[in-house]
Amino acid sequence: MIQDEILQFLKKVPPFQFLDDQVLTMVVQNLSMEFYPKGAVILKQDSPASDTLKIIKKGGVKVSVKSKDGEDVVIDYRGEGDTFGLISLMGKERQKTTIVAVDDTICYLLNKETVYRLIDDHPPVTEYLLQSHFTKYIDKTYGEMHSKSLFYGSSDHLLFTTLIGDIAGKEVVTVPESASIQEAAREMAKHRISSIIIADRNKLPTGIVTDRDLREKVVARGRDVSDPVKDIMNLPLIRVDAKDYCFEAVLKMIKHNIHHIVVIKDGALRGVLTNHDLMMLQGTSPLSFAKDLESQQTIEGLVPVSAKINRVVGLLLKEGARAGNITKILTELNDRLVRKVLEITEKKLGRPPVPYCWIAFGSEGRKEQTFKTDQDNAIIYEDADTPAKEEAAKRYFAEFSTLAQDSLLRCGFPPCPAGYMASNGKWRQPLGAWKRYFSSWVAEPTPDAILHALIFFDFRTVYGEIVIGEQLREHLAGILKDQKVFLGHLANITVQNRPPIGFFKTFVVEKTGEHKDQLNLKVKGIAPLVDIVRLFALEKGVRETSTLERIEALRSRHTVVAEFADELKQAFEFIMLLRIHNQFEQIEAGRFPDNFINPSRLSNLEKRTIREAFGLITKMQDHIIEVYKHMIL
C-alpha cells in the first residue's frame, strides 16, 4: 500500500504518466525517498554528480549556477512533480548547478540503472526528461553563453554537423517477409531493439515494424501473432542517407510522425536511426515539440505550446544551425500549429460543404518564417455545382475563417494589417475566382496587380486538399508562359531596391528617426534576393516557393543562377541568420523583434560578408536590367 500511493503519485507526473502499470511498478521498486530540510544544499556545483534522478514529491528547489564573478545566479525553480539531477546523472561529470531546497522538501530518488533502462526502452520518457532539463537550462543561460561572433559562435553544432551514419545503430536486424509477427517480435526481444526491418527475397528492405505497431496493430486489436509480419509493417519505408546531416532525419521524422527511420548507405541498408538516437545527440528536440502540439485537442491547449516555438529557435541558434535549416524547422512547426488550429476549427463547425485548401503566402509561403509573423493566408475552395452549395460554402468559410483567425491570434500570430487573410471575403474564393484573379494580375499589371502577384504567387498549400492548390499552381505556370510584359513589371520592381552601399563602400544607413544609423536587413538584404530569385523562378516556371529551393531548382535551368547558385544561397543564408540572431537577442532582451541592425556593431568579417552579398545583389540586378532593358523605367 506504500507502493500504491507512490504509483498513484507517479501517474499524475510526466514523464512517468506515459508508462504503463507494469513499468511503473518496476520504477517504484527502484525508488528511495529522501527528506531535505529548507535551506539544505542537495547538489553542489563542481561537487560529484548526482547518483539518482530526483522527483520532487513535496516542497521545491532552486537551481543556480555560479557566474564568472562568483555570484550565484538562480536560473530555475522546480516544484512538486518536477525532476532534477538528470544531466549530472547522465553526464558523469561534476555537478554543473547548485540545487537548494527552498522549503522542506521530499524527493523520490530513482537509481541510475533504472533511469538508463527507461531511457533505453521508453523514448517518450527520454524526450520529456531531456527537454525539461535542457530547455530550461539552455534558455536561461543562453544570454550569457551566446558568443557575439556569428562565425565562430558556439561549439556544439551537433544536429547540423553530425552525419546520420555516425550515430545510427549499426546493427541491422531483419526478418524475411514470410516471418510471423511472433517471430519478428522474438527477434526484437532477443536483440533488445525497438524496431525490425522486413527484407524481401533479395535482402532488400521492404518495410519496418516498430514497438508501436506491435502495440497498436497487434495487442490492441487482438490480432493473431501467427499472422505474417508483412501485414503490420509500415509502408512506404522512410529513409535517409548515411551521408546526410542528422537534421534531415529530424525533418523527415516530424513530417511523417515516426520515430524510426531507415538509413541507407551506397544503396544498401546501413542501419536504423531512432528518435532516441537523435535525442541523445541533441538534448531537446523540435520533434518533441511537434508531438506536444499533436496531442492538443483544444485551442486553449495549443496556446502554451505555441509559445514555446521561440525556444526552439534559441536552441537551434545555439547549435549553430544554418538559417535555411532554422526556417525549415520553424516552418514545419508553424505549419503543424496552423493545421492543428484548422483541424480544431473543423471539428467545431463540422465538415465543410465543399473541399478546400488553406494556403499561406509571403514568408510563410516561402518557408522563410523566423519568429511569428503576421497571418498571411487564404482559402481556395472547390467550385460548387449548384447555387445552394455555393451559398452554403460562402457561409461556412466565412464563419470558419473568422474562428481560425481568432484562434491563430491567440496562438501568437497577429492579424495581417493589410487584411491579406481568409477572413477577408476577397481572399476566400472558389478555385475559379482565384484563377481569374491570377489571370487578371498577369494580364493587366497595374501597381496593385503587381503587388498582389508578389504576395500571392509565393503561395503554398498548408492544409486541406493539396490538389486544389496544385490546380492553381498549374494555372499560374500556364498563364505566365512568355508574359514578357508582366515579367518586365516584376523586373522593374526588383531592380528599384538597390543595395545600400555608398560610394566609398560604406553602408548607407537610416539618417533619421528611431532607427538612425541602422540598416534594415529585411528590406535591403532579404527582400531583393527574394525578388530576384522569384523573378528567375517565374521566368522558368519553377514550382518551388522557397528561395533556397528555387535556387536549387534553377541551377540546371537558368544560366545566371547556374553560375552563382552557391553565392546566392550563401548570401541569403547569411543575411537571414544575421536577422534571426538579431531578433532572438531582441526577444531575449524583452524587446519587440525588428529587422534593424547597426553595422558598426558587426565584426569585420561580418561586414565584409554583407558587402559581398550586396555586391552580388547589384550584379544580379544589373543582369536583370540588361535582359529587360526596354522595360526598366
Partner 1 sequence: MAGILNFGARRKCHLHEGDEPISSVPFVVIDTELTGLNERKDSIVSVGAVRMAGPRISLGDPFYRLIKPRAALTRESVIIHGIMPSDVAAQADSASVLAEFASFCGQAVLVGHCLAIDLAFLDREMKRVLDARIENRLLDTAELFGWMMNRGLLENCDPAAPGEPDLYRLARWLDIPVSETHHALTDAYITAQVFQRFLPLLRREGISTVGELVRIGDPLGGGDRFRIKGEISSL
Give how far the C-alpha of residue 349 lies from the chain's centroid of Cα atoms, to the nearest Å: 29
Residue (44 or 591) nearer to partner 1, CB: 44
Binds partner 1 by CB under 8 A, chosen from 104, 200, 227, 510: 104
Cβ 517 to partner 1, closest distance in Å? 54
With H, G, I as helix, E, B as strand and everything else as coil, classify residue 230.
helix
32 is a contact residue toward partner 1 (CB under 8 A):
yes
Task: Please count the residues of this chain forming the interface with partner 1, following the rule CB under 8 A.
Answer: 22
Residue 304 burial (10 A CB sphere; 0-12, 13-18, 19+): exposed
Cβ 114 to partner 1, closest distance in Å? 9
Per the DSSP assignment, residues forming a β-bridge with 99 are 43, 63
- With contacts defined by CB under 8 A, name the span among 38-46, 249-257, 263-271, 496-504 that binds partner 1: 38-46
- What are the distances in angstroms from CA 480 to CA 361, 365, 528? 18, 19, 21
Residue (33 or 409) nearer to partner 1, CB: 33
Interface with partner 1 in residues 195-254 (CB under 8 A): none
102 is a contact residue toward partner 1 (CB under 8 A):
no
Q: Cβ distance 326 to 287 under 8 Å?
A: no
Cβ 98 to partner 1, closest distance in Å? 12
Interface with partner 1 in residues 105-164 (CB under 8 A): 108-109
- What are the distances in angstroms from CA 71 to CA 65, 67, 68, 246? 8, 5, 7, 38
Ramachandran quadrant class, 46 (left: phi over 0; alpha: psi -120 to 50; beta: rest): left
6 is a contact residue toward partner 1 (CB under 8 A):
yes
414 is a contact residue toward partner 1 (CB under 8 A):
no
94 is a contact residue toward partner 1 (CB under 8 A):
no
Spatial distance between the Cα atoms of 353 and 382, rounded to a whole number of angstroms: 10
Binds partner 1 by CB under 8 A, chosen from 10, 19, 24, 31: 31
User: Per-residue b/e over 501-517, b at no fewer than 16 CB within 10 Å?
Assistant: beeeeebebeeeeebee
Ramachandran quadrant class, 92 (left: phi over 0; alpha: psi -120 to 50; beta: rest): left
Rg of the chain over all Cα atoms, to the nearest angstrom: 27
30 is a contact residue toward partner 1 (CB under 8 A):
yes
Cβ 32 to partner 1, closest distance in Å? 4
Cβ 33 to partner 1, closest distance in Å? 4
Residue (41 or 562) nearer to partner 1, CB: 41
Binds partner 1 by CB under 8 A, chosen from 17, 37, 178, 215: 37
Q: Which of 132, 25, 29, 137 is nearest to 81 (CA)?
A: 132
Residue 289 burial (10 A CB sphere; 0-12, 13-18, 19+): buried
103 is a contact residue toward partner 1 (CB under 8 A):
no
189 is a contact residue toward partner 1 (CB under 8 A):
no
Cβ 161 to partner 1, closest distance in Å? 38
Residue (105 or 595) nearer to partner 1, CB: 105
Instruction: By CB under 8 A, name the binding residues for partner 1.
Output: 1-3, 5-6, 28-37, 40-41, 44, 47, 104, 108-109
